[in-house]
Amino acid sequence: MSSPPPPPPPPPDRTIVCVDCGGTAHLLTTWPSDDPPRPGDVLVYRCSDCLDRWDVVMPDGGEDATGWAD
């Protein structure tokens, strides 16, 4: 009996809405396709309107995540 490996986490949003001005902030950070970001990694966005930088920590999205060990 074999169980398939868990699906990879969804890729991060390429853009987010800037909280300050409502403009579009674009993802600056990139990763190789075979090494996607993991929960806890920091995603860096920069707003194209006000040029504010936004650091977003990749959420731990797995339902069966075993975080909080230790």
Q: Contact positions toward Zn ion, by CB under 5 A?
A: 18, 20-21, 23, 47, 49-50, 52
Taking the least distance from each CB to Zn ion, the nearer of 6 and 22 is 22
Taking the least distance from each CB to Zn ion, the nearer of 21 and 43 is 21
- What is the CB-side half-sphere exposure of residue 29 using CA atoms within 13 A? 19
- Please say whether the beta carbons of 6 and 23 come within 8 A: no
User: Shortest Cβ distance from residue 28 to Zn ion (Å)?
Assistant: 14
Taking the least distance from each CB to Zn ion, the nearer of 12 and 52 is 52
